[in-house]
Amino acid sequence: MNIILLGAPGAGKGTQAVALVKEKGLAHVASGDLFRDNLGRGTELGKIAKTYMDKGELVPDDVTVKMVLDRIAKPDCANGFLLDGFPRTIPQAEALDKALSEEGKSMDKAVSVAVPNEQLIKRLSGRWICRGCQAPFHMVDAPPKEAGKCDHCGGELYQRDDDNKVTVQNRLNVYMKQTAPLIDYYKGQGKLLEVNGNQPVDAVSKEMLAALA
Ligand code: AP5
Ligand code: MG
């Protein structure tokens, strides 16, 4: 099964992906994580991406599409993958559909996770991420068992540069303008599933798994 997780910044895409890929045996492909990995390794791609990510703007489609298509061509994606943060524009969705159809494949479902804006802002301001496995935590709502340490891999937790107030607001604006139209795109393909993301993490997971069953 190939699944897309659609949702605004802070909707819980990364949080839900952790449980979903385990349950469904999928590879987790998060475009933001791929950019941050490149950034950490100081690659050219990372340097290009940083100039956009710091402002909360989208990285250009050609760069992003190539990076994700290269990633889903890897062997661990052969039995299914979960896309988190991609596609984020209509041209990205069209490029994905085209590339998959050339191999006789397609996306199966797009799960849209809805959360009110004030809740998104609260979540992002309290978020901590694992440097090792990228799992997200929240200092109030989803704290790690041990302060500063990842529950899953023991990695160090840090706060993302783009989780500051000004950048978060721009990320939300960019989402509404450039990414929200994908909800209708996948509705039109009969692949859209809608989940209420404004409930405890486990309740969201349960609703998502039921929708995908
Ligand atoms: P990306 O890394 O994809 O960030 P994003 O979409 O802004 O989403 P986030 O990762 O911030 O949120 P999330 O939905 O994963 O929430 P999380 O689970 O962490 O992209 C970053 C940047 O990279 C972009 O701005 C852009 O520049 C670039 N980029 C990436 N993809 C691109 C693309 N396709 N095209 C162009 N550019 C691209 O949860 C958030 C917090 O809430 C956590 O603290 C968590 O613990 C908490 N939480 C989660 N669920 C719940 C719940 N149910 N109840 C309470 N708290 C919860
Ligand atoms: Mg994320």
In a domain, 147, yes or no: no
| Domain assignment of residue 110, given as a range | 3-116+166-212
**What 3-state DSSP class applies to 3?**
strand
Task: Give mean pLDDT, residues 171-195.
Answer: 98
Instruction: Give the pLDDT confidence score for residue 212 in this predicted structure.
Output: 96
**What 3-state DSSP class applies to 112?**
strand
The sign one gets for the Cα dihedral 54, 57, 63, 67 is: positive
CA-CA distance, 60 to 182, in Å (whole number)? 17
Task: Give mean pLDDT, residues 4-26.
Answer: 96
Looking at the structure of the chain, the number of domains it has is: 1
Dist. CA 14 → ligand 1 center (Å): 6
CA-CA distance, 150 to 48, in Å (whole number)? 29
Query: Residue 115 corresponds to which tokens in the numbers above?
Result: 């959360």
- Please identify, by atom number, the ligand 1 atom nearest to the C-alpha of residue 15: 18
Regarding the beta carbon of 38 and ligand 1, being less than 6 Å apart is answered: no
In a domain, 129, yes or no: no
For residue 149, CA distances in Å to 128, 133, 139, 155 come to: 10, 11, 12, 6
Query: pLDDT band for position 213 (50/70/90)?
Result: very high
Regarding the beta carbon of 172 and ligand 1, being less than 6 Å apart is answered: no
Instruction: Give the pLDDT confidence score for residue 44 in this predicted structure.
Output: 96
Instruction: Give the pLDDT confidence score for residue 15 in this predicted structure.
Output: 93
In a domain, 122, yes or no: no
In a domain, 154, yes or no: no
Tell me the catalytic residues: 13, 88, 127, 160, 171
In a domain, 74, yes or no: yes
For residues 191 and 212, the answer to whether their CB atoms sit within 8 Å is: no
Give the number of whichever ligand sits closest to the CA of residue 62: 1
pLDDT at 81 over 90: yes
What DSSP state is assigned to residue 136?
E
Which of 5, 6, 13 has the most ligand 1 atoms within 8 A of CB, as the residue to mutate?
13
CA-CA distance, 17 to 36, in Å (whole number)? 17
Dist. CA 213 → ligand 2 center (Å): 24
CA-CA distance, 59 to 74, in Å (whole number)? 22
pLDDT at 141 over 90: no
Regarding the beta carbon of 130 and ligand 1, being less than 6 Å apart is answered: no
Regarding the beta carbon of 88 and ligand 1, being less than 6 Å apart is answered: yes
Q: CA gyration radius for the chain?
A: 16
Look at ligand 1, atom 48, and give the residue with the nearest C-alpha.
Answer: 12
In a domain, 151, yes or no: no
Q: What is the pLDDT of residues 46-70, one digit of tens each?
A: 999 999 999 999 999 999 999 999 9
Regarding the beta carbon of 56 and ligand 1, being less than 6 Å apart is answered: yes
In a domain, 90, yes or no: yes
In a domain, 202, yes or no: yes
Task: Give mean pLDDT, residues 180-190.
Answer: 98
Instruction: Give the pLDDT confidence score for residue 129 in this predicted structure.
Output: 94
CATH of the domain at 196: 3.40.50.300
Instruction: Give the pLDDT confidence score for residue 158 in this predicted structure.
Output: 95
For residues 49 and 57, the answer to whether their CB atoms sit within 8 Å is: no
CA-CA distance, 165 to 160, in Å (whole number)? 12
